[in-house]
Amino acid sequence: MTEFPPLIPDRGEDSDWDSTLVVHNHFVNVSIVPERRHSGWETVERGWVESKQQQAQAKGLKSQGRASDGPFSTDASNDVLSSIATDASKATAFFAYPQMSIPTPQLEFDFRMRVLLNPQSASISVGDGFKKMSTFSEGTWSGHFGHGLVVNGGQDSQDMVCGDTIATQVEATLRLQTADEPPACIECKLRGNRIGPSDLMKELQGPGKCRQADPRLCPYRIFVSMKTSDPRYKDKLNTGMWIGSCVWKDLEVVFDAYRIS
């Protein structure tokens, strides 16, 4: 069995990451769901309609027990069921080839990456807000296709206020270097969003401000693509697609990437 180096190097006792958050094993065990296929949209639609009918019947019976002549009487319940069936029937008219079964994408854990942002950043005025430009000072990665370093790269991010939440849009380009001799160079592009309550997002932004805040409370998801001209890796990476789940605390970002197959 191939031995992989630790996914995240030990940073010593000064690390304030939750030990249940950063895994120091050689690899993460991820159970792969067998490929699932369905018989077409007809089965999906039928299940959806039956589920809605059951919910409507339950609501109707509950309301009927309180007031038999109320708005959820038997006649009203039948009207609800009829409306659901009509809406579902109308929806099927817009499906292309509703009887055709399409393979379901599968996810397989592929690699973990850790990057450290430079404390200095630049802000650029964009419309009514600002976009922050920053660079990565260092990083490591390890996974199925190898391991190595993050040698340079940069990112830009922009906060958007949506009601009581803040969404941070992030785009980054990284240059990865493998541990081979000679090393291969890989261009890695990331794009995604981090979303959370405004108070928590503000607490997580900036070094030294989030010792008590848990970054896992703010969902952070990204799309990942990679490209290289090195013949040792181009067949493995150039046509691949990944999605990632991240945590961002202080100046450090760690994410797991899952290949879409």
DSSP track, 207-218 = TTS-SS--GGGS
User: What pLDDT is recorded for position 50?
Assistant: 75
194 within 8 A of 218, measured Cβ to Cβ: yes
Which of 109-123, 174-188, 222-236 bottoms out in mean pLDDT, i.e. has the lowest?
Answer: 109-123
How far apart (Å, rounded) are the C-alpha atoms in residues 27 and 35? 23
32 within 8 A of 106, measured Cβ to Cβ: yes
pLDDT at residue 177 tops 70: yes
At 140, the amino acid letter reads: T
Lookup: tokens for 170: 């992030």
Residues in CB range of 248: below 8 A, 6 or more apart: 194, 204, 215, 218, 220
The DSSP letter of residue 240 is -
Domain 107-260 is in which class? mainly beta
pLDDT one-digit tens code per residue, 63-112: 555 544 444 455 555 665 666 667 666 776 777 787 788 899 999 999 99
Report DSSP letters for 139-202, one per residue: EEEEETTEEEEEEEEEEEEEEEEETTEEEEEEEEEEEEEESSSSPPEEEEEEEEEEEEEHHHHH
pLDDT one-digit tens code per residue, 120-152: 777 777 666 667 788 888 899 999 999 999 998
Read off the pLDDT of each residue in 238-248 and give the average, rounded to a whole number.
Answer: 94
| Strand, coil or helix: 16 | coil
252 within 8 A of 16, measured Cβ to Cβ: no
The candidate with the shortest Cα–Cα distance to 77, out of 65, 92, 89, is: 65
201 within 8 A of 166, measured Cβ to Cβ: yes
Buried/exposed code over 120-145 (b: 16+ C-beta within 10 A; e: otherwise): eeeeeeeeeeebbebebeebbbbbeb
> For 130-136, which contacts have Cβ atoms below 8 Å and span 24 or more sequence positions?
130/158, 130/159, 131/156, 131/157, 131/158, 132/156, 132/157, 132/158, 136/172, 136/174
Read off the pLDDT of each residue in 52-72 and give the average, rounded to a whole number.
Answer: 61
Global confidence as pTM: 0.65
| Strand, coil or helix: 92 | helix
User: What pLDDT is recorded for position 209?
Assistant: 54
pLDDT at residue 6 tops 60: no
Lookup: tokens for 83: 């409306």
